Structure 1
Amino acid sequence: MSDEQAALLSEHDKATGVLTLTLNRPARKNAIDGPLWDLLHGALSEAGHDPEVRALVLTGAGGAFCAGADLSGGVKGGHPLTRMRGINEVALLLHELAVPTVAKVSGVAVGAGWNLALGCDLVVATPESRFSQIFAKRALSLDFGGSWLLPKLVGLQQAKRLALLAEMIGAEEARSLGLVTWVVEAGELDGFVTDLANRLAAGPPVALAQSKALLNENADRTMRDALASEARTQTINFATTDTPAAFRAFLDKTEAAYTGEWGVPSTDDK
């Protein structure tokens, strides 16, 4: 493994289906440079096409989550818009990933690093975690989806406060604003996230994927559009083996094992 490849560690627990991606540039507080953006793009794309991945945990090594984009080398060659398109592709891959995603945050998560965490479905932090939309202090505007994510999560006024002042806030304030799902003690973080990811991975994969997509898509749609989407996706759920399995488990007072398999016989089966 080259030094560049070592900047992103990947661990797939085949028994549970949980994939853990760890940003591994601790000397830079896991700031993301060009090669690491490429590695993230490849890893997320691969995860999206791997049926054995049932949940994703995104975290950072060395006591930090991510200090954002690595600007230490100055502005690189090439057109800035081309570079931003590549970064935007990573944001979309994470946002549209069908499996549940969890950000495990210790230390700082700032700039694109914070928006990387917010791009996950759930965020778990420690009391020591710190967050900032630091862009304004670098004479930059929001990126990695922050301009879309923040108003939806905290409302327009608070989003403007976070973006325009670029303040550093603590984990409890971030949780009170709806930007962190749970705050747990540092010594409990690993166990908490492992249990959470295992529970998500054990869920019905098709149903969870569709609920995630519905929530993401319908935030900007009318009630009529949302109801139509719900009807469509519920019909797909009834065509899997998971829904009957869940009903049987409910009646038998047992736990269902979910596979996401298609349950409608094909014409070849007749």
Structure 2
Amino acid sequence: MGKMITDMVVETYLSGVQVLQMNRPDKKNAITLEMYDNLALALQRAEKDDSIKVTLIHGANGEFSAGNDINEFLKIAQTPEKMSSALTFLQTLSSYKKPLVAGVEGRAIGVGATMLLHCDMVLSAQEATFQFPFVPLGLVPEAASSYLLPKLVGYQKAFEVLILGEAFSGVDAQNIGLVNHLCEPGEAYELALRYAQKLTNLPTEAVMLSKDLLKYRCQDDVQMALMREGRIFKERLKSKEARDAFAIFLSRTHSMS
């Protein structure tokens, strides 16, 4: 059974697995405000649906997500209340009670990388590219990455990844614990689906209770980090540093197209 939420978020069901595909291949699946709204609604609906045991997130056309659409950043800078779409999605994702599995190909950049910190299993192609380029854009980390990444990789490594904002491979991502298992290019979705189906075959309540036990100690800290980052992020969008960085980024993008 398949269901189209919008042409940019495709939802399908495969025997207990809700599959959410970010589907904006012409923009490397960069996420718009409307996509945030639809992803949040899909997760909220799945949480209440007993037939759905696991959610799998992936991107269309060999890319996970290039992150926030830069033009949407500019929109949010003009009308900061629009940022609530992104925050609602991140709050829904971070408190989701069922297992979240991600299949990563190509680019996982910005929020395309930070959302993986909220997934329970991440399966990735070796050649995938991960990047947290917030500071080079004059911004600050988001999606509670300033809290979750140091917990995962230690302070110094988190500082390097979040402040320098340099790209790293799927192999590096596995080495720091961001990725569970690697595969050849083009195989991440199938591998993610295999693990999602393994999870659906386990006792549902035991899985959800165990996930809660693993996460409950830090849940309040995650929500506090989300709100604090969101407040500073919103302020940074109006800063001269961010405006200058966006202008350079957009001029580079236009010169390449």
TM interval, shorter chain, is 0.7 to 0.9
The offset of 1:83, in angstroms, is 3.2
SS of the aligned residue for 1:104 comes to strand
SS of the aligned residue for 2:69 comes to coil
When residues 218 and 76 of structure 1 are mapped into structure 2, their CA distance, relative to the original with a 3 A threshold, is same
- Show the counterpart of 1:104: 103
When residues 168 and 47 of structure 1 are mapped into structure 2, their CA distance, relative to the original with a 3 A threshold, is same
- Show the counterpart of 2:11: 10
Q: Would you say how many aligned residue pairs link Structure 1 and Structure 2?
A: 216
Distance in 1 between residues matched to 2:95 and 2:190, nearest whole Å: 27
- Show the counterpart of 1:61: 60
Q: With a CA cutoff of 8 Å and minimum separation of 6, indicate the structure with the bigger relative contact order.
A: 2
**Structure with the greater alpha carbon radius of gyration:** 1
Deviations, residues 212-255 of structure 1 (Å, cap 9, x unaligned): 1111122589xxxxxxxxxxxxxxxxxxxxxxxxxxxxxxxxxx
CA contact (8 A) 1:4 1:35 kept: no
Name the structure with the higher helix share.
2
- Show the counterpart of 1:45: 44
- Show the counterpart of 1:149: 148
| 2:148 equivalent to 1:115 | no
Percent of matched pairs sharing the same residue: 32
Superposed CA RMSD: 1.9
Structure 1 unaligned blocks of 5 or more: 222-270
Residues 181-260 of structure 1 aligned to structure 2 (within 5 Å): 181-219=180-218
The offset of 1:87, in angstroms, is 1.4
- Show the counterpart of 2:179: 180
Deviations, residues 112-159 of structure 1 (Å, cap 9, x unaligned): 110112211110000110001111121110112211221111111111
One-letter amino acid of the counterpart of residue 9, structure 1: V
CA contact (8 A) 1:4 1:36 kept: no
CA contact (8 A) 2:32 2:72 kept: no
Deviates more, 1:211-220 or 1:144-153: 211-220
**TM norm structure 1:** 0.75
Structure 2 unaligned blocks of 5 or more: 221-257
Distance in 1 between residues matched to 2:214 and 2:145, nearest whole Å: 17
The offset of 1:190, in angstroms, is 3.4
| 2:160 equivalent to 1:161 | yes
**TM norm structure 2:** 0.79
